[in-house]
């Protein structure tokens, strides 16, 4: 795989690597992931409690998402970079709302902040690259 060629590509690659690693952690050590997110880790689960199944599904989605973010960064698929910004801001809004309304524990705010900050950093990198583009063409 190629290294990213632009600052925005690097933001996407780093997010992808982190998503991949967090997904892997959730699959390997669900208790660790639940603890990191501020959820209670139970010794045993009642029949019908699908917390670990849902965590496995979410972790697998994060692992897959990490791979396609890294692939997009490797080929400098810039339309994808743009698409991630509003959708990650939406994710920030939903996850932060879950914490503010008490539906999720306070530690879960980290997920929302990770999404929001990542979106802003990628957006800033895209903005900076767009402002520099005419100067490079003139040279």
pLDDT, tens digit (0-9, with 9 covering 90-100), for 89-129: 999 999 999 999 999 999 999 999 999 999 999 999 999 99
Q: At 104, is the secondary structure helix, strand, or coil?
A: coil
pLDDT value of residue 133:
72
pLDDT value of residue 139:
47
Q: Is residue 54 part of a domain?
A: yes
Between residues 17 and 133, the one the model is more confident about = 17
49 — pLDDT class (breaks 50, 70, 90)? confident
In sequence order, the 6+-apart residues with CB closer than 8 A to the CB of 100 are none
pLDDT value of residue 43:
86
What confidence tens digit (pLDDT) does each residue in 58-81 have? Answer: 999 999 999 999 999 999 999 999
Q: Is residue 47 part of a domain?
A: yes
Torsions phi, psi for 77 (to 5 deg): -80, 80
Q: Is residue 93 part of a domain?
A: yes
In sequence order, the 6+-apart residues with CB closer than 8 A to the CB of 40 are 34
Q: Is residue 31 part of a domain?
A: yes
Q: For the whole prediction, is pTM greater than 0.75?
A: yes
Q: Is residue 27 part of a domain?
A: yes
Q: At 1, is the secondary structure helix, strand, or coil?
A: coil
Domain count, the chain: 1
């Amino acid at each position: 795989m190629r290294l990213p060629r632009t600052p925005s590509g690097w933001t996407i690659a780093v997010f992808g690597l982190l998503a991949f690693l967090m997904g892997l952690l959730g699959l390997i050590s669900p208790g660790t992931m639940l603890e990191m997110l501020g959820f209670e880790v139970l010794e045993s689960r009642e029949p019908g409690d699908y917390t670990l199944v849902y965590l496995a599904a979410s972790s697998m989605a994060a692992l897959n998402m990490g791979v396609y973010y890294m692939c997009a960064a490797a080929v400098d698929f810039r339309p994808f970079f743009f698409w991630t910004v509003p959708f990650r801001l939406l994710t920030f809004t939903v996850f932060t709302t879950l914490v503010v309304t008490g539906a999720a524990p306070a530690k879960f705010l980290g997920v929302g902040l990770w999404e929001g900050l990542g979106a802003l950093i990628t957006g800033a990198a895209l903005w900076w690259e767009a402002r520099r583009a005419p100067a490079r063409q003139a040279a």
